[in-house]
Amino acid sequence: MEQSGEQQRSDEDYGYGLFPKRKEAKYKKGSVGESLFTFHNKCQLMLHFALETSPYAKFLLGVMKQSGCTAYQDRHFSCEDCDGTVSGGFDAATSQIVLCQNNVHRQSHMNRVVTHELIHAFDHCRAHVDWFNNLKHLACSEIRAANLSGDCSFGNELSRFNFGFKRHHQECVRDRALRSVLAVRKVTPEEAKKVVDEVFDSCFNDLAPFGRIPHSKNDVKFASRDFQNRDRYYGNL
């Protein structure tokens, strides 16, 4: 029987080519090779620090836990070598967040990547996201992650020398979502732009679970307070 077009697609169509360690295990867990691998050790330490101290990560982990999707560092996070163009990814097939140990070298960068990927994990937890077959679902989550993770903060855009025009935040989110879709799917730029444009407004305005664009730690603190108050309200009904 002839395979359908979807069945014939290779793993690389879904971005797995950017994460070669998803296909091979160079170091078995607990091996001497792994313990001596400096990038890996540094990545693990930065990841642990992010999960313990980043208000964004702590808030998202707490929300996911209350939603029945507890994330554990040793099960749901993996430090690996990646293609030189990416910093991290969410593998829906294994419910794992990949941190690119060869590309993430600063704690601030790690914090942002963890937050970005946790937003994908939150979407995976709360919604029936068809990551592999529905391009609109993928684009929507990429828009939300770019919008809510700090990817497009003023400081980050300043460091990229991107600033100074009207509606800059929206355009940054649109551009980063477009690039993310192109990185993990074999589609043309025109196809990717079309699908991002189609879902942009609704997904840009979907601010769950923060309820606002978290521009600062104070915004996260207010989001956490609102979330706890909401739970108390529903608990008293």
Q: What pLDDT score was predicted for residue 233?
A: 42
The residue-averaged pLDDT of 65-71 equals: 95
Give the least confident one: 67-81, 133-147, 155-169, 179-193: 155-169
Round the average pLDDT of the chain to a whole number and report it.
Answer: 86
Which residue, chain included where needed, has tokens 């601010």? Answer: 207
- Would you call 117 a catalytic residue per the annotation? yes
pLDDT band at 4 (very low <50, low <70, confident <90, very high): very low
> Both tokens of residue 199?
């879902």
**Using one digit for the tens of pLDDT, what is the confidence trace for 97-144?**
999 999 999 999 999 999 999 999 999 999 989 999 999 999 999 999
Q: What is the pTM of this model?
A: 0.84
Beta bridge partners of 88: 99
Alpha carbon of residue 187 to chain centroid:
20
Options 52, 117, 171, 191, the catalytic residue: 117
Would the pLDDT of 80 be above 90? yes
Rg of the chain in Å (alpha carbons): 18
The residue-averaged pLDDT of 19-48 equals: 70
